[in-house]
Chains A and B, each alone.
Chain A
Amino acid sequence: GDSVTQMEGPVTLSEEAFLTINCTYTATGYPSLFWYVQYPGEGLQLLLKATKADDKGSNKGFEATYRKETTSFHLEKGSVQVSDSAVYFCALSDQAGTALIFGKGTTLSVSS
């Protein structure tokens, strides 16, 4: 079945460092791909998405490119801030009306 694999955390960085969180997926069709972020004590929020191959999703300085050839959707940010400390989830949706499949989440901790 469909699945999402994320790099295990925690990821610990200093402020202004470059961030990459790896995400790969397995799907039978042509899924839409998502990154969600969860701040402490809150629900998940959609960070960015891409619906077809070679699309780049971006938001708040974060980017991810849908790579069909490598079945990947890695999250990147050029310069992280302390306020980016959160748990990041990669997810896929194989078709409209079905449930999102989430990875296990990667905890990011940024120190000043």
Chain B
Amino acid sequence: DAGVIQSPRHEVTEMGQEVTLRCKPISGHNSLFWYRQTMMRGLELLIYFNNNVPIDDSGMPEDRFSAKMPNASFSTLKIQPSEPRDSAVYFCASSRDNYGYTFGSGTRLTVV
């Protein structure tokens, strides 16, 4: 099993540009989670899906953030327009019935 696959690993973009982060969960996992990690705020849950349906998006900072899961094998997190304060490492994780998450390696986003 290849694990949870995130792309890109690193993204540098200019303020105001659209950024799309991608995640492929482990086959057979029915829950998918997007987290953001910064030194100041630690790990923050942004949104999670069960069976491709968004369950809780209360952690999404503002309307500039959106996430989709069109099928069981793919999810995107989009930021439009991006701002410097969005700079962070974004993690995707998947699980089956919450018996331990498997995290991807993360996308390090830098907005300049």
Contact = CB atoms under 8 A, between A and B. Distances in A.
Instruction: Answer yes or no: do A and B interact.
Output: yes
B: contact size bracket: 20 to 34
A43 interface: yes
Contacts of A108: none
B105 interface: yes
B97 A96 contact: yes
Q: Interface of chain B, helix or strand or loop or mixed?
A: strand
A61 interface: no
Interface string B48-74: 101000011000000000000000000
A29 interface: no
Nearest to B56: A99
B38 to A, nearest CB: 11
Contacts of B102: 46
B91 A43 contact: yes
Interface in B31-60: 31, 33, 42-43, 45, 48, 50, 55-56
Interface of A: 32, 34, 36, 42-46, 49, 89, 93, 95-102, 104-105
